[in-house]
């Protein structure tokens, strides 16, 4: 029993370390995490963040911030705003906090700032 607890603690510790290292690497991890968690990756790549979508007609969002700011993106994702007269394919279901972090991240994806 003792061994099992030690083992579990060890596993948690390793997971925690990986999480921490990962956060440091990406600079702005939370938005990316949410992006992956919400399955945006089914239809979108973000090549500059190492996200590659298998779909042939995937829309790459690496430069979304060049065109749209976080405020607009959050409205677009909740279908309050349209792009070229079209609503987004899916309505994002998330907490306000998640929506904000995700939109801020997408809004920060600008061509000039890549590679920081």
Q: Which residues contribute to the site for ligand HEC (CB under 6 A)? A: 35, 38-40, 42-44, 59, 61, 64, 67, 73, 77, 83, 86, 88-90, 92, 102, 106
Quick one: 4 or 96, whose CB is closer to ligand HEC? 96
Structure tokens at 24: 């440091």
CB of 82 to ligand HEC, least distance (A): 9
CB of 43 to ligand HEC, least distance (A): 3
Q: How many C-beta neighbours within 10 Å does residue 65 have?
A: 20
- Nearest residue to ligand HEC on Cβ basis: 40
Quick one: 8 or 42, whose CB is closer to ligand HEC? 42
CB of 29 to ligand HEC, least distance (A): 15
CB of 96 to ligand HEC, least distance (A): 14
Quick one: 15 or 90, whose CB is closer to ligand HEC? 90
Q: Check if the beta carbon of residue 104 is closer than 8 Å to that of residue 56.
A: no
Give the integer Cα–Cα distance in Å for 116 and 114.
6
First to last CA, the chain: 47
Three-class SS state of 38: coil
Q: Check if the beta carbon of residue 43 is closer than 8 Å to that of residue 57.
A: no
């Amino acid at each position: 029993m003792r061994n099992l607890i030690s083992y579990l603690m060890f596993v948690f510790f390793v997971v925690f370390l990986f999480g921490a290292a990962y956060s440091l690497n990406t600079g702005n991890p939370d938005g990316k995490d949410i992006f992956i968690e919400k399955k945006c990756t089914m239809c979108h790549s973000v090549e500059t963040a190492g996200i590659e979508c298998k779909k042939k007609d995937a829309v790459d969002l690496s430069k979304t911030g060049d065109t749209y700011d976080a405020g607009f993106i959050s409205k677009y994702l909740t279908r309050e705003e349209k792009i070229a007269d079209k609503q987004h394919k899916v309505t994002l279901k998330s907490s306000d906090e998640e929506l904000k972090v995700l939109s801020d991240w997408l809004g920060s994806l600008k061509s000039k700032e890549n590679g920081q």
